[in-house]
Amino acid sequence: MSLALGVVLAAAIDGEAALRHASALAALGPHPWGSTRNEAAALYVAAQMRNAGLDAVELQRFERGGTVGTNVVGTLRGRGGELIVIGAHHDTVPGSPGAYDDSAGVALLLEVARALAATPSRERTVMLASFDGEEAGASGKGTTAGSRAFLEHLGPRTRDLVAAFVIEMCGWKGGTPVLHPIQYGDPRRPGLAVIAPGWLVAAALDGSWRAGAPLGVGDPYLSWLYQPAVRSFRVRLYGDDLSLLQAGRPALFASDSSFSAFYPDYHKATDTAERLSAAALGRMGQAVLGVARALDRVARGPAEQPQWFAAFGHVVDGPWLVALGLLSLLPGLYAGARGTLLTLLERLLEAGFFAVLLWWQPVPALFVFLLAHLLLPHARRPWAVLLSLLPLVALLAMGVSAWLRGAVDGIWLTPTELGLAAIAFALAFTGLSGRPPARQPYRERLQRRAGPRRL
């Protein structure tokens, strides 16, 4: 009984212990990659991984643009040949001690390492990676240098990598832990983009729920708006998931900052350990531990599965989104068929433009058009028009607000897609009177069929 209790306690996340690790790293002061202080941070992480009882701990040196960095990679071997990666980064931007970004993430990485090491066995090998050079962009030498070097070091074994889960900015008592499936440019295919696959998001949601620390998607209050927004606007925020996704590997990161509640001391000199909360660290750590366990048992999914939508803790795949979008056209087509020939042609044109847009961009298309398709064929009253406009207005408002904050630097939608959307949306508001044609009473219809009565 006491042994079982000890295993349970060892397999839980200790928020106080995580806070001590984060405080020790932040106490080094600003430690950008290539600095002596950052090397000290890497050595601290390596020593703590060894203390956690990992099977192996390796210091991986790499060089980019004349700057030398150090990744720290601990390994817990599994029965099979497949790998999962749990990561964070130990470097900071110049001028900030980086307690929140990302000493706290590394602290949780160490706690998760300790908890997983207490688990008797696992199906897949777990690599716990503390990356260097995530903030390399601050020095003008590119972003996520350490995780890119990690993939190079992994070499052919990248084929065995099932998924990576990255712990980013966390430990703030004012935040809420959420997943951040952000869409990034794909350097392998210019003009196209990559995003975390739907099956990985589903596994993370399920694992965190089972761990008693459920994660949301994007934002605790604006999740349904966040998901079309990151597919419509080029978000500047990123994590080390960027490297893996651009290399064709499934990856996802989590943080307790979001659009509605963003950490106020981000990248500032005031980002110190006093801003962190042991309870908040424990909450995020428990979620990450649940995700790590879920990734050990989930069926391996495709590297790319970009079209999905998360709602009520579940993930709906692209084909279902397209089917729902096509079904939403039926009320308008039915109302158009009962009107004039011109009305029917307008409905058919709108359906055609929308269907093409839905095929290319199902999440933004469905978000913007669904209410209009359901409401406008039956009610043209002001409240219905306003409700139909609300999704588009909210999406634009979120994009403008993020741009003013410096979090957005462009849009993903092409001119062709924007043109399709504009024409389809305009047609959705034309051609229908708002009420179906008045039907004659049954007795009058019978009289018309019988013809005039003879006297």
In degrees rounded to 5, what are phi and psi of residue 109?
-60, -40
Quote the pLDDT of residue 132. 97
Which helix (H) or strand (E) segment is 185 a member of?
A: strand 184-185
Q: Which parts of 379-414 fold into alpha helices (H)?
A: 382-404
Which of 246, 177, 247 lies closest to 207, judged by CA? 177
Q: What is the dihedral sign for C-alpha 242, 54, 9, 41? A: negative
* Domain boundaries, given as residue ranges, for the chain: 2-306, 317-428
**Could you tell me how far CA 242 lies from the centroid of its own chain?**
11
> Which of 365, 362, 376, 371 lies closest to 334 in space, CA to CA?
376
| Separation of alpha carbons 217 and 316, rounded Å | 13
**pLDDT value for 438:** 46
Assess contact for 76 and 50: CB atoms under 8 A. no
What is the per-residue pLDDT for 143? Answer: 82
* Backbone dihedral region for residue 194 (phi beyond 0: left; psi -120 to 50: alpha; all else: beta): beta
Angle among Cα 123, 17, 263 to the nearest 5 degrees reads 95
The structure tokens listed for 255 are 């943080």
Q: How far apart are CA 380 and CA 385, in angstroms?
A: 6
User: What SS3 class is residue 248?
Assistant: coil
pLDDT value of position 444: 53
Cα distances (Å, whole numbers) of residue 380 to 376, 384, 430: 6, 6, 10
Q: What is the distance in angstroms between the CA of the first residue and the CA of the last residue of the chain?
A: 102
pLDDT, residue 378, reads 78
Correct CATH for 2-306 of 3.40.630.10, 3.40.50.620, 3.40.50.300, 3.40.30.10: 3.40.630.10
Q: Would you state the pLDDT for residue 141?
A: 54
CA-CA distance, 253 to 168, in Å (whole number)? 7
The DSSP call for residue 260 is: S
382-399: b or e for each residue (b if 16 or more CB lie within 10 Å)? eebbebbeebbebbeebb
Q: Which of 363, 352, 348, 267 is nearest to 311 (CA)?
A: 363
How many other CB atoms sit within 10 Å of the CB of residue 409? 11
Angle at Cα 32 formed by Cα 28 and Cα 34, nearest 5°?
A: 110
Instruction: Give the pLDDT score at 119.
Output: 85
| Residue 454 pLDDT | 47
Q: Give the β-pairing of 178-180 and 251-255.
A: antiparallel
Whole-number pLDDT of residue 381? 81
Phi, psi of 200 (to 5 degrees): -70, -40
Parts of the chain with a pLDDT under 50: 1-9, 433-442, 445-446, 453-455
Rounded Cα distance between 100 and 267, Å, is 9
pLDDT at residue 430, rounded to an integer: 82
The answer to whether 376 and 426 are in contact (CB under 8 A) is no
Closest CA to 85 of 316, 202, 239: 239
Whether omega for the bond prior to residue 102 falls within 30 degrees of 0, making it cis, is yes
Q: What Å distances lie between residue 95 and 34, 170, 269, 293, CA to CA?
A: 14, 19, 6, 36
Residue 283 main-chain phi, psi, to 5 deg? -65, -50
